[in-house]
Amino acid sequence: MLKGKTAVITGASTGIGKAIALNMAQNGANIAVIFIGNKNLASEVKLQAENSGVKVEIYECDVSDHNASKETCEKIVEDFGAVDILINNAGIVRDGLLLRMSESDFDDVIDVNLKGVFNMTKHLLRFIMKSAGGRIINISSVSGIMGNPGQANYSAAKAGVIGLTKTTAKEFAGKNVTCNAIAPGFIETDMTAGLPQAVKDQANTNIPLKRMGTADEIANVAVFLASDMSSYITGEVIKVDGGLCM
């Protein structure tokens, strides 16, 4: 479905980002893996993705850093020659009740989860516009749609991602670039693995499908949105949450 395309994926060394990278590689896309912190994990993703016979490179970058993002994007274009798909997936959490939340915990989450999307999109758009059908896919969250106690920073950032998605879609539709968002619910990742079992049980009770989703289920939607099958879809927010937010 993505043969010959080049996809840039932030936060691609673990969780949802890793699943998207591997799924897109299996569908023929060359992959630029952006990570921060653990190079070994990123190298493992590279090795697994290369088994699909595609080109894969890894880049360490703090997407909240405007200049570092610009330099990384320029290096990716130099290495691959073109960029067709951008997946803005990088994100962090600093949960806490609003009255107890520090300014730094609020700022850090906004910087990575929202400003990081702006940085990467801004720096790659002029290259994506040269693609026959450019695709930008932003990973938001149902927390950005309905809010979530203890996540004022995260919910605000993910709601901002939705607004940024719709504006990007409107501004660049005339250039044949689509921009959509995926809003995952409770997904089995390292981030949710640390939750107390009681919290997981309560979450499953509230989810109509009675289970958490998997990273692969998010990746399947990302591949669809990146493919020609979604050519007439833009500005949408697709919830992948087992019916939690409806």
Catalytic positions, written as ranges: 154
- CA 165 distance to own-chain centroid: 12
* Count of residues making up the chain: 246
Find, among 148, 144, 235, 134, the residue nearest to 183 by Cα. Answer: 144
Please state, in angstroms and rounded to a whole number, the distance separating the CA atoms of residues 118 and 88.
9
Reported as type and span, the H/E element at residue 223 is helix 215-226
Contacts of 30 (CB under 8 A, 6+ apart): 5, 6, 7, 54, 55, 56, 80
49 to 33, 61, 170, 235: CA distances (angstroms): 10, 20, 33, 29
